[in-house]
Structure 1
């Protein structure tokens, strides 16, 4: 077998999407999102997608870059995926080695990656000198058969109105401000800060998987208070990109209300399964998702390696 690692080409988009779906079957991944991410990444992210090719077939990929929007300088990422039927061929090792060499050349001090909580993935990471960080819990909801709580608009708290992201098409800045605040409060090994508005528009608002009609925004007396952002693959799969409540409105059940509306919209639009992921320490959102009927689908661990080690 001839194995090479090379840069992504536009013609690889379908193959890379298949690789990611094989390695992480719960992700919302399409050829369009793969190609768009490569083409639209902010220059400061230093994004580069590597692929492993075995005898002319793409069997793995590794997204590399730096967390330019983190408060921790020098932190980079290398997210590797290998097709299940190509494991053990050396594709993962070749990709990670190439990624680490590239990131070290950029001056990164640390590199992090997600690994599924399974013996092969954990052993692979730890043998390469990566140390375990926080966990992320992926959950699944059988949206087609779920008994979603009814939406009784007459019982909404006073002053609360539900809208969609599409209603903010002319001026999405209120959604940007809400997303930026909630992002800064999200628990995790890497602490992020809200991006500049122009970058948010390009990376979040224009993301090809974002479904603005299924993204619900809870408005209180005209002000954005909570939201539930929806990504779909147009193949019946729904992913909660972010559900959050602004600090001034927390404790009122508004995130639950927004997500319930979004899930109802998604089912009406033909989505049959929903996925979400939460930090293992994010007990409030874990409780919300359990209330909706989500069940565990996978656990991931963030692993970090000091590049100078």
Structure 2
């Protein structure tokens, strides 16, 4: 049976459904839908040169790759290739074809260093190392049973602090952009980011179909967003925290925990049953907060890097 690799066709429903299905099977702790796949292709910044790929066998999508440039980093020449193959279709060569095609595409666009997230399993690690990638940072996926778990009780905000939702900032979300940009730049990472493009943030984050404004909680101090917990939902029962953070001037006051607790209670009240999040393994403070909520580590991934040329 012949396996072929080609670009994803976001306008073809079977393509985005196949891409989403493989991603869900290979990475079940990540909230994704066919519509979100199509939206990403249409709205990601053009400088990212984003080109998702699919591996196909007998008309079935059995592998996927997210491929692009890290355009918002001050360090030029960085790219990414994240490959996921249907768990029942491995060892057919789909992963190798996806990597090879992605590397050629990125090299043609000036990439000299490639990053790839790999689930922490011996076979996956060996695959990455065979292709010239070396081990870097690691991160945990965490899961919380919202339906049957016990959340900490809702907390009363301290004096001067108000809890709102992202929906309250619909008329002017710029303060949330500024908070998101500041907290993202402080996250542990082996890639530096400069998050300065407000219009791109509106397209890629604020207007994203999975971002749930009503379930994204914001702690406000003196009218200024000081901490937040951003939520994505899949239209079903799955909820993902994609960012939780506090502005530097307000850290050490428990505001991130306050906002995330509020968001999780909102999610459970809305009927969501599973909550997911992810943390760098070196992010001790956030891992401790998530343990307090009852999250449990369900998988670990490792970021591998390869120098081209």
TM-score after normalising by structure 2: 0.98
Please name the residue that 1:44 is paired with. Answer: 47
Match in the other structure for 1:210? 211
Secondary structure class of the residue paired with 1:98: helix
Deviation at 1:107, TM superposition (A): 1.0
Q: Secondary structure at the match of 1:86?
A: coil
Give the structure 2 partner of residue 80 of structure 1: 83
Tell me the SS of whatever aligns to 1:48. Answer: coil
Q: Distance in 2 between matches of 1:216 and 1:167?
A: 10
CA positional deviation for 1:96? 0.4
What SS class does the counterpart of residue 209 from structure 1 fall into?
coil
Q: Does 2:93 align with 1:90?
A: yes
Aligned residues: 306
Question: Aligned partners of 2:35 and 2:101: how far apart in 1?
Answer: 25
Q: Which residue of 2 aligns with 1:279?
A: 280
Residue 112 of structure 1: aligned partner:
115
Within a 5 Å distance, the mapping from 1:285-304 to structure 2 comes to 285-304=286-305
Secondary structure at the aligned position of 2:265 is classed as helix
| Unmatched 5+ stretches in structure 2 | none
Matching residue of 1:5: 5
Q: CA deviation at 1:2?
A: 1.4
Q: Superposed, which structure 2 residues align to 1:78-227 within 5 Å? A: 78-153=81-156, 156-227=157-228
Matches within 5 A, 1:219-258: 219-258=220-259
How far did 1:152 drift? 3.6
Q: What is the rounded CA distance, in whole Å, between the counterparts of 1:288 and 1:71 in structure 2?
A: 31
Following superposition, the deviation at residue 212 of structure 1 comes to 0.2
Counterpart residue number, 1:262:
263
The answer as to whether partners of 2:212 and 2:233 remain within 8 angstroms in 1 is yes
Q: SS of the counterpart of 2:266?
A: helix
**What is residue 73 of structure 2 aligned with on the other side?**
70
Structure 1: which 5+ runs fail to align?
none
Give me the CA root mean square deviation. Answer: 0.8
Report the alpha carbon displacement of residue 279 of structure 1 after superposing the two structures with TM. Answer: 0.8
In the superposition, the TM-score normalised over structure 1's length comes to 0.98
Deviation of 1:192 (Å): 1.1
CA distance in 2, matches of 1:27, 1:81: 12
Alpha-carbon shift at residue 72 of structure 1 (Å)? 1.9
